[in-house]
């Protein structure tokens, strides 16, 4: 993991990882971008309203948050993440 800035200032968070497919047949060939959002459901609605498509439906990452992957109307693939340190997957 890579983090810039002090704990009390805005920062860039990232990771070094191999190229991968977000979903079958959708390989990222550039910068992998995940955007922090305050409301994951509102973000999903905004993507659809703007002409984008959901590539990977919303999923929960325990102790991290809720996220989905999408393609915008110009073909760019990105993720949206609502941070939630209390997130858990119900079983």
Which residues, in sequence order, are bridge partners of residue 77? Answer: 71
> Is there a domain that residue 2 lies in?
no
Burial string for 48-66 (b: 16+ CB within 10 Å, else e) reads eeeebeebeeeebeeeebb
> Is there a domain that residue 14 lies in?
no
Cα dihedral 69, 81, 66, 29 sign = positive
CATH assignment at residue 44: 3.10.180.10
Tell me which residue of 70, 68, 23, 25 sits closest to 50, measured CA to CA. 70
Domain count, the chain: 1
> Is there a domain that residue 16 lies in?
no
- Asked whether the beta carbons of 36 and 11 are under 8 A apart, the reply is no
pLDDT at position 91 over 60: no
> Is there a domain that residue 8 lies in?
no
> Is there a domain that residue 4 lies in?
no
Range of the structural domain that residue 75 is part of: 30-91
Tell me: the pLDDT tens digits for 13-52? 666 667 777 778 777 766 778 888 999 999 999 999 999 9
């Amino acid at each position: 993991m890579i983090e810039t800035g002090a704990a009390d200032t805005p920062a860039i968070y990232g990771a070094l990882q191999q190229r991968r497919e977000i979903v079958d047949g959708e390989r990222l060939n550039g910068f992998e971008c995940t955007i922090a959002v305050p409301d994951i459901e509102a973000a999903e609605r905004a993507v659809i309203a703007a002409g984008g498509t959901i590539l990977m439906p919303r999923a929960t990452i325990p102790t991290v948050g809720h996220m989905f992957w999408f393609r915008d109307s110009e073909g760019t693939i990105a993720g949206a993440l609502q941070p939630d340190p209390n997130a858990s997957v119900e079983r």
